[in-house]
Chains A and B, each alone.
Chain A
Amino acid sequence: MTPSPPQTATTIAEARDLVKVFRDFWHRPKVRAVNDITFEVKRGEVFGLLGPNGSGKSTTIKMMLGLLHPTSGYLRVLDRSPDDVKTKARVGYLAEESYLYPYLTSEETLHFFGRLFNLNAKQREERIDQLLDMIGLQHARRRVVGEFSKGMARRIGLAQALINDPDLIILDEPTSGLDPLGCRQVKDLIRALARRGKTVLLSSHLLADVEDICDRIAILYNGRIQAMGSMHELLEQRNRYRVTLPEELAPDQLQRVLDEIRSVLGAEPDIDHPRLDLEEFFLRIIEKARNEVESQSGATPSHTLASYLSAPPS
């Protein structure tokens, strides 16, 4: 790896000129999955790796977790090598598939991962209780994970990623397999974690997810970063304007405003009615139905963040 200046206090992870080449049995280069990428993840931000399948998102994440080794380049996570157990102790990871032991119950699964973080029995009990409440699987704590739907397994996967109260949370396709309600809950959770000061790095190919929750994104294609910046910087069209009028505007007032615009521009402006996006509409309907029907199935989250998930020291 090439040497690099030390990370600043606000940098949680840093990759410079990172390359990953997969080789075949005879060690011949087969695929250049990550091709010379450079990025930084800053403390407290939600950073998104966005790209189509095979663009190098998961490979980058796996290198940051020590599951794959970079072919070349510089990679530091929490000021250390990703392979260092001290780094791993402060990282939470949700894999793209849940990869859980199918014969363990929810509770046993979380105890197992809690033990790997060397948490004592009391800490584990408290955290498991809060996490199961938070992800809405308190009622399924003694059911084996192998019987779970994909969405429920993702929730357990998310809970195990948070059991160590990590400083950096790495989520590979966090909303994959979740229904719209689950997606929204996970996105709300990520935002809540960010508000608590946690740093989140996520990958997704679902544009709406990334747009909703990320502060900054990097768009990958063919192993290279094609664009990177804050959501605002990347999406704002500085040469176009949108004027929002008050909701209670009377028709004659609207007519006068339009006449004024026409006289100034000398052209007809585009006018239409604002729309809800489909996710928002869906959630409103479900919320209404939920209020009407008492019995529910699947996950019933508490809508509160586990209290032990504290803000990291600044």
Chain B
Amino acid sequence: MNGILAIALISVRNAIRSKIVMVLLAFLLITLIGLPLTLQGDGTLPGHVRVLIRYTLGLATLILSIATVWASCAAISTEIRDRQIQLVVSKPVRASQIWLGKWLGLMAINVLFLMLCFVSTYAALRGTTTPDRWSDTEIEQLHTEILVAQYKLAPQPRDVREEVQRQYRAARARGEWPEEIPTQEVLPRIERALRTQANSVPAGSSNRWVFNVPHPPPDDRPLILRYRFSLSVMDLDPVSGSWTIGSLQASHRQVETFEQPPRTWHSVAISPDRIEDDGTLTVEFANHADRTVTVIFQPDEGLHLMVYAGGFLMNYFRAGLLILFHLSFLAAVGVTAGAYFSIPVAAMTSFYALLLINAARFIGRIAEGTASGGHGHAHGPHGGWFQDAIHLTSHLVHRGLYAVIRPLESANPLDYLVVGEWIPWTEVGYMFGVKVVLYSGILMVLGAWHMARKEVALPS
């Protein structure tokens, strides 16, 4: 343990002495001080807070990520280059201890700077949302919609399975889909169309959704209906409509009329007494547009209910933990790459690995695409065994790659914060397990295994 701590301390000193890391950290300070003073947002208080959190913490996280990758790549490779590693390796220290010491040192720096980022952003948040600058209504809206932790509920899905089958049979009978297009490609398309239709409201009509609210918010805190819609025409003019919330009995109904533009988020605060005894909440949207325009709520993300679950600070802390776990993974990638390669090669390798991880969904889609192509279901003519072999290889490579990087996929924690969405502890625990324990652990084994076999005193 003594040895690990000694190496961690050296790792901290090395990182602090790196000019590139220092330049990046200077950018970090400029970001933390300069951005809160210059950001304007959309003129509303929620807009200001969203921009402040997303830009300040987003940029700070990006800078910390780059600094972490660089410093971690340099952690072992510079010592190999400058040969100090020879004195360390000749001491009774295992390769895993060297790896762990380097990683812990970098993590100590990350914890320090991440705390600085989060504390200063929070201070800026408090300092720029004072009653002398914003109205009481806006401040109240901020504290009910953004500076809280709310869990997100989607409306009950409509069962469209029978309708999908019916439309499929009808479409086949009409010959709308050529025979060579397989059923498994046609059915999802029909289902998507039906779901979009179920979330659409033509002019002059209305549509209804039902939410199950298992745990009503405490202390009569309001529920927030968040929505974003698009239009059936290429138009950004506001649309007039109304929300009717609660049971159909007049005494329990809450009616909100509005005229709002499409493609932007809107919200309605709902009193918790609108929830029925069976835990359901019904909302109905009426399209009052005086022109032929259909309002479309995106089936997955266009409409949801936010229910209070806890305070903002703990959610903010959980977001910090998620970022820290990501940085710990980056540090592990860099330290391991630095054990194998010189700094430039290690840095390139690390950034390439991060690029792949960020492109996980794209790679997943390629894997799906090559699956159908590789098994001879392509729409075009067959290309023979050679093309099939290429398809199969591509499919296997992408599928294998996707299987490796998929567990690392995670939503940006700042996306949760800017909408006041609850970050579940399960997500925090999962990311700790995956990024810190599993993947960093695997990288440690790979790095230490290589270091134990590496000849650190080869003539240059």
Contacts and interface: CB of A to CB of B under 8 A. Distances in A.
A binds B: yes
Interface of A: 22, 62, 65-69, 83, 85-86, 88-89, 91, 93, 95, 97, 99-101, 103-104, 111-113, 115-120, 160
Interface string B1-37: 0110111011001000100000000000000000000
Interface in B105-121: none
Contact of B90 (A67, A111, A112): A67
B91 interface: yes
Contacts, number: 76
Contact of B87 (A66, A99, A119): A99
Contacts of A85: 92-94
6 tightest A-B contacts by CB?
A115-B6, A67-B457, A89-B92, A116-B91, A85-B92, A88-B92
Interface string B84-112: 10111111111000000000000000000
A115 B17 contact: no
B458 interface: yes
Given A68-B458, A103-B13, A116 B86 contact: no
Contact of A101 (B5, B84, B455, B458): B84
B82 interface: yes
B192 interface: no
A22 to B, nearest CB: 7
Q: Give the residue among B10, B89, B92 with the most A Cβ atoms within 10 A.
A: B92
Given A67-B456, A112-B6, A115-B6, A88 B83 contact: no
Nearest to A97: B83
B87 A113 contact: yes
A118 B92 contact: yes
B88 A116 contact: yes
B380 interface: no
Nearest to B87: A99
A116 B91 CA distance: 6
Contact of B457 (A68, A100, A115): A68
Contacts of A66: 89-90
Contacts of A112: 6, 9-10
B127 interface: no
B458 A115 contact: no
B86 A67 contact: yes
Interface in B269-296: none
Contacts of A69: 453, 455
Q: Which one of B5, B7, B459 has the highest number of Cβ atoms from chain A below 10 Å of its Cβ? A: B459
Contacts of B83: 95, 97, 99
Nearest to A82: B90
B90 A91 contact: yes
A99 B84 CA distance: 5
A67 B458 CA distance: 8
A201 to B, nearest CB: 13
Contacts of B13: 101, 103-104
A86 B458 contact: no
B91 A88 contact: yes
A268 to B, nearest CB: 54
Nearest to B1: A118
Contacts of A103: 13, 17
B81 to A, nearest CB: 11
A252 to B, nearest CB: 64
B90 A99 contact: no
Tell me which of A68, A95, A101, A119 has the highest count of chain B C-beta atoms within 10 A of its own C-beta.
Answer: A101
A111 B9 CA distance: 12
Contacts of A89: 92
B3 A115 contact: yes
A266 to B, nearest CB: 59
Nearest to B83: A99
A115 B5 contact: yes
Contacts of B82: 99
15 contacts: A22-B458, A65-B90, A85-B92, A91-B90, A95-B86, A99-B84, A99-B86, A100-B84, A103-B13, A103-B17, A111-B6, A115-B2, A116-B2, A116-B3, A117-B92
B92 A116 contact: yes
Contacts of B10: 101, 112
Nearest to A112: B6
B453 to A, nearest CB: 8
Nearest to A69: B455
B12 to A, nearest CB: 11
Contacts of B2: 115-116, 118-120
Nearest to A119: B2
Given A99-B82, A100-B84, A113 B458 contact: no
Nearest to A64: B90
Contacts of B3: 115-116, 118
A86 B93 CA distance: 10
A2 B252 CA distance: 91
Given A85-B93, A112-B6, A118-B3, A93 B455 contact: no
A203 B3 CA distance: 29
Nearest to A113: B91
Contacts of B456: 67
A180 B123 CA distance: 63
A146 B93 CA distance: 25
Scoring B17, B455, B456 by chain A CB atoms within 10 A of each residue's CB, the highest score goes to B455
Nearest to B5: A115
B363 to A, nearest CB: 31
A267 B87 CA distance: 60
A104 B14 CA distance: 11
B11 to A, nearest CB: 11
A68 B459 CA distance: 10
Contacts of B455: 67-69
Interface string B420-460: 00000000000000000000000000000000110111110
Contacts of A113: 87, 91
Nearest to A98: B87
* Residue of A89, A111, A118 most packed against chain B (CB within 10 A): A118
Contacts of B92: 85-86, 88-89, 116-118
Which of B89, B90, B455, B457 has the most C-beta atoms of chain A within 10 angstroms of its own C-beta? B90
Nearest to A124: B2
A172 B456 CA distance: 16
A132 to B, nearest CB: 18
A103 B456 CA distance: 22
A292 B9 CA distance: 46
Contacts of B87: 93, 95, 99-100, 113, 160
Given A22-B458, A118-B2, A67 B94 contact: no
Contacts of A62: 86, 457
Contacts of B91: 88, 113, 116-117
Nearest to B91: A116
Contacts of B84: 99-101
A130 B87 CA distance: 21
A286 to B, nearest CB: 31
Contacts of B17: 103
